[in-house]
Amino acid sequence: MTDGFDLRHLPPGFYDDPFPVYRALREQTPVRRMPDDSVFLTRYADISAVYHDAETFSSDKKREFAPKYGADSRLFRHHTTSLVFNDAPYHTRVRRSILGALIPKALHRLEPKLETLVARLLDHAEANGRLEAIGEFAGAIPVEVIGDLLDIPDEDRAPLRDWSLAILGALEPVLSAEAKAQGEAALAGFHAYLSKLIAERRAAPGDAETDVLTRLIQSEGEPLNEMELAENCVFLLNAGHETTTNLIGNAIELLARFPGERARLIAQPDLLRYAIEEVLRYESSNQLGNRVTTRETKIGDETLAAGTFVTLCIGAANRDPKAFDDPEQFDISRHPNRHLAFAAGPHKCAGMYLARMEARIALGAFLKRLPDYALDGKPVRSRRARFRGFTEMKIRLR
Ligand code: HEM
């Protein structure tokens, strides 16, 4: 099963169920040399160690992205300026600016509007007698929440979701000319919009405690320049879209696939916070991470030269029996659950409290209002190796 494994040529059935391949890799070649001489990691302990050692394993993607996008492209400039693909000290400075606005205390203000939005989406579903759970529910929530976080006027939000999908789509291991063109066009739209928004916010600052854009504009120490500001706003808008849509969509699919777990959750709603962590572990929205070595190092028996590209398979780590009892079991009461769905170390997801809050409110209301829902046909997978989720999921409300 692992013979010839190559992210650029994935075996049939991989997108539906990559876990048998991940398992075979973890058992047979956990530090796998790929045809392009990069290394693919599948063990929890290795991946966790890499995430924690940012000096040996850099997040800087300039060398990787220059040939992929072209050094004068918008995609190159965007992805190499956002905090996630940078190291200290730039990464530390940007992260410090946004973190305060993403802690639970600051997020409370978003809850009432989110509850109203979720109720409205479910009213709509009940009135129609059916629901397409991605476009009309899971995918409709994050865009509004991040719009609220950056105080983007409601009437400006329509194009944000498609822009975000196009920009993230360009991160797939294989980049088609069409996906590249879509990513470039989305960034052009985003940049034009943001330069206007940033100018307005500079003229009339919001509350720096809660408005992320104002926080970034007023960042302490060396302020971000115009380009850094715009690219990190685009990143924030993107980081929370597809990942959180997939968390909510994957939860709806898993609770349909495991009716016993759904019944348990409905009977004991207090389990919801554990159930969300289990969805994150079992079907991690973000399956792959990347790093590049800054110096020679060893993982297992394999020596990695400086400059080696490393792919961290979060999806495989989260089913490693050395880290989780009975890892193939979907258990909504699993606790503790130290999954790596949000990564770990200095780049650990800055939006994890926000993602959890969205999932808690969306799924809590969904299960209360539609406890007997059923999938109407097979949901359609978004055939991506990096982001795991669905593009369409029809629901019968019963
Ligand atoms: C289920 C939802 C989410 C998942 C699974 C997820 C996953 C991740 C992962 C794995 C990383 C680390 C990337 C790396 O260093 O290789 C990350 C970073 C990040 N995420 Fe999330 N994310 C989610 C939602 C969000 C949301 C809602 C936001 C906020 C709007 C957000 C903002 C960020 C930021 C700013 C970083 C960069 C942190 C840094 O480099 O210091 N994420 N996320």
Q: Assign 334 a pLDDT band (cuts: 50, 70, 90).
A: very high
Say which CATH topology domain 19-396 has: Cytochrome p450 (1.10.630)
Ligand 1 proximity of 145 Cβ (cutoff 6 Å): no
Q: Assign 238 a pLDDT band (cuts: 50, 70, 90).
A: confident
This model's pTM is above 0.85 = yes
Tell me the mean pLDDT in the region 268-296: 98
Contact 209, 203 (CB under 8 A): no
Q: Answer whether residue 77 shows pLDDT above 80.
A: yes
Tell me the mean pLDDT in the region 146-163: 89
Q: Answer whether residue 149 shows pLDDT above 80.
A: yes
Q: Hey, which of 244, 349, 387 would you mutate to test ligand 1's pocket, going by the most ligand atoms within 8 Å of its Cβ?
A: 349
Q: Name the residue at shortest CA distance from atom 11 of ligand 1.
A: 349
Q: What is the pLDDT of residue 302?
A: 95
Q: What is the pLDDT of residue 173?
A: 80
Tell me the mean pLDDT in the region 16-23: 96
Rounded to whole angstroms, the Cα distance separating 245 from 234 reads 17
**Structure-model confidence comparison of residues 160 and 364, the more confident one:** 364
Report the nearest atom of ligand 1 relative to the CA of 340.
Answer: 10
Ligand 1 proximity of 239 Cβ (cutoff 6 Å): yes
Share of the chain above pLDDT 90, in %: 78
Report the nearest atom of ligand 1 relative to the CA of 84.
Answer: 40
Ligand 1 proximity of 289 Cβ (cutoff 6 Å): yes
Q: Name the residue at shortest CA distance from atom 40 of ligand 1.
A: 84
Q: Answer whether residue 245 shows pLDDT above 80.
A: yes
pLDDT digits (tens, 9 = 90+) for 119-138: 999 999 999 999 999 999 99
Return the SS3 of 6: coil
Residue whose C-alpha is closest to residue 242's, from 345, 127, 139: 139
Tell me the mean pLDDT in the region 231-239: 90
Q: Answer whether residue 220 shows pLDDT above 80.
A: no
Report the nearest atom of ligand 1 relative to the CA of 235.
Answer: 35
Ligand 1 proximity of 237 Cβ (cutoff 6 Å): no
Q: Answer whether residue 221 shows pLDDT above 80.
A: no
Q: Answer whether residue 4 shows pLDDT above 90.
A: no
Tell me the mean pLDDT in the region 322-328: 98
Tell me the mean pLDDT in the region 284-304: 97
128 Cα to the center of ligand 1, angstroms: 34
Report the nearest atom of ligand 1 relative to the CA of 146.
Answer: 30
Domain boundaries along the sequence of the chain: 19-396
Q: Name the residue at shortest CA distance from atom 28 of ligand 1.
A: 351
Q: Assign 378 a pLDDT band (cuts: 50, 70, 90).
A: very high
Ligand 1 proximity of 281 Cβ (cutoff 6 Å): no
Quickly tell me which residue has 């940033």 as its tokens. Answer: 198
169 Cα to the center of ligand 1, angstroms: 16
Ligand 1 proximity of 343 Cβ (cutoff 6 Å): yes
pLDDT digits (tens, 9 = 90+) for 193-211: 999 999 999 999 998 888 8
Q: Answer whether residue 222 shows pLDDT above 80.
A: no
Tell me the mean pLDDT in the region 248-255: 98
Q: What is the pLDDT of residue 224?
A: 85
Ligand 1 proximity of 125 Cβ (cutoff 6 Å): no
Q: Name the residue at shortest CA distance from atom 9 of ligand 1.
A: 342
Ligand 1 proximity of 351 Cβ (cutoff 6 Å): yes
Q: What is the pLDDT of residue 346?
A: 98
Tell me the mean pLDDT in the region 219-235: 86
Q: Answer whether residue 97 shows pLDDT above 90.
A: no
**Structure-model confidence comparison of residues 275 and 1, the more confident one:** 275
Burial of 236 (C-beta count, 10 Å sphere; 0-12/13-18/19+): buried
Quickly tell me which residue has 């973000």 as its tokens. Answer: 286
Q: What is the pLDDT of residue 101?
A: 81
Ligand 1 proximity of 299 Cβ (cutoff 6 Å): no
236 Cα to the center of ligand 1, angstroms: 9
Strand partners, 390: 381
280 Cα to the center of ligand 1, angstroms: 13
126 Cα to the center of ligand 1, angstroms: 33
234 Cα to the center of ligand 1, angstroms: 13
Q: Name the residue at shortest CA distance from atom 41 of ligand 1.
A: 347
Scanning the chain, the segments in alpha helix (DSSP H) are: 19-28, 44-52, 62-69, 74-81, 90-99, 104-107, 111-128, 140-149, 160-169, 177-203, 212-217, 226-239, 242-257, 259-267, 272-282, 314-317, 352-369
